[in-house]
Structure 1
């Protein structure tokens, strides 16, 4: 977090930077994922896991395969895959994983995406999250239950499209709906001018071959199975305006508003975790 604050402050006092220097700083501001230390309870949970390492190809930053760390609890016939959000890690789902481990016959898999948590990589991006999800599916098989938080929801949705898997249940917490608008909010918070933001998005398109507008859950979503989604109408990161539009366009999603819980705390809320446990138990009893 200290490094991200330094990058933010340097961008905010950008009057001495050339346009090219500022653009390079904006890449760091947008693509550096802060790494928070693991708490004692989280470490104890990780120590109980079976650890594994897989590779994700980083075509755009490191230009090589990056190792990422995964964790597995249990060996039941019902597979659960958890994808964390930006600036997060597998251990941030500790409370939920502990609760899910009480359910019989589950195999729970979580991971630190490249550039996040304990995994390799200086900078990260959505595509690395997707690469990691795809690598786990390739090595461990299709999950029956796919869980995601924030950016991890978008990664899961795109991975479903790319791998053609059909999980029995998709669980999403406070998904990011529009990536470009999230980038804009980050840069605006650092007092980046509109012209400098436009230059960043031009360089984004040149770098990735797609405009940032491409990464919009409205356009990417085509899941037709059971989808349970939790959001907070007061969320300032995943704003309700975009969430409402997305839900109105996808009326089969079972959505729940947990008012006032917040973006990051959604996956730690005892109320939310209780509802998820009930949902998973109900699914297992049906199959």
Structure 2
């Protein structure tokens, strides 16, 4: 018997043993329950690469990149031969080939794509990570593989791109698909699905803020959006069970120059391969 939850914007099935352990620790000590939840929150699951992504994995030039601020190596995928480059950023528990359908279309438009396995994802080092490491990876990739014309991100990747632009990632336009927004919303939902009391969510947020020395909401997509002037295309599905569509509307409201596409019936992942979505991305980039 399992229960669905969302860790880092990725629907997962939590084994009953984890739910029982979480409740047991909560009964003993809220702090122990929070530390247990914190460990789960920063640990992505590495999935086997699906067949639809294999050609991108095989045709990409792959290299290791050391990110000095993290003291970690990540794997970078250089797909295509054009000097005009587009940065692709996957979501939580994803990998550098996850946006393959979009990448193939970008090659047809005359671009090459640069993507990567974020820390603790795919072939990259580590077992735990968090959004700040996605952002640091993006900024280091820009130094080594940029400049980029555009950036396209899914889920946590979309949040990371907006934060990276805020930290001076230089691009002409950005596309974010199924992006999360408010950090507290993500934490609260995660805690609820672990069947823990809301106060554990507050303890968890305080734990991360102590570790990082700043408010977590500094990384909310809508907060970063306020300082962004480049055009941004926001795509989100009305039936996204991983990230509520309200995130898209809130990000849109806070951007100075944005377009919003709301789809229906595609959820959080099918949206990446939808022909109408990809056509909209192409039109946005070309115009």
Kindly tell me the number of residue pairs found equivalent between the two proteins: 275
1:270 CA displacement: 2.3
SS in 2 for 1:54: strand
CA distance in 2, matches of 1:144, 1:29: 36
Q: Name the structure 2 match of 1:158.
A: 163
Task: Note the alpha carbon deviations across 1:8-52, whole angstroms, 9 max, x for none.
Answer: 553255456533432221112211111111123322321111111
Q: Does 1:261 align with 2:255?
A: no
Listed one character per residue, the Cα deviations across residues 66-85 of structure 1 (whole Å, up to 9, x for unaligned) are 11101011221321000111
**Match for 1:22 among 19, 33, 36?**
33
Report matched runs for 1:1-287 at 5 Å.
5=15, 7=18, 10-15=21-26, 17-57=28-68, 65-104=71-110, 106-165=111-170, 167-221=171-225, 222-250=227-255, 252-280=257-285, 282-283=286-287
Q: 1:22 to 1:4 in 2, by over 3 A?
A: same
Change (3 A) 1:96 1:7: farther
RMSD: 2.3
How far did 1:190 drift? 0.9
Q: TM-score, normalised by structure 2?
A: 0.87
SS at match of 1:28: helix
Residues 207/8 of structure 1: CA separation in 2 closer, same or farther (3 Å cut): farther
Shift of 1:228: 1.3
Asked whether the 8 Å contact 1:7–1:29 carries over to 2, the reply is no
Q: Retained in 2: the 8 A contact 1:232–1:260?
A: yes
Give the unaligned 5+ runs of structure 2: 1-10
